[in-house]
Amino acid sequence: MDEALQSEWKDLVKRIELSFGEGIEIESIILLIGIQELGKGYFKPTKDEKLDLMHIATCKLLEPLGYYKFTGKDADGWPHWEPVGVLPTLKPGEQKEMMKRVIIGYFKVNELVG
């Protein structure tokens, strides 16, 4: 991971930790994005709902890269996307780096960080 990305990631994590406590991992940030995108406020998700929330976040994060297209919300208000591009084959470290980049972008676009 290049130095600029590493620095931006550390800064973002520090800002998130101010609200949610120290030691937050990328998976927890993805879950928080899913909750934000669901837009239903606080609730205690089940294990299956946590997976669904992480899927919502992943689709939202990869949408600007052209991999998913938002198709609307279902009757319960859960957003849905359809795949429109083929995800590249990446090694685990490359996947994590790509996700960090799109997470940083998400927080910038949504003006959640400076």
Q: Is the pTM of this model over 0.85?
A: yes
pLDDT in tens, 73-97: 999 999 999 999 898 899 989 999 9
pLDDT in tens, 41-67: 888 999 999 999 999 999 999 999 999
Question: Is there a contact between 84 and 67 (Cβ–Cβ < 8 Å)?
Answer: yes
Which residues, other chains included, contact 6 with Cβ-Cβ below 8 Å and sequence gap of 6+?
A: none
Question: Is there a contact between 106 and 9 (Cβ–Cβ < 8 Å)?
Answer: no
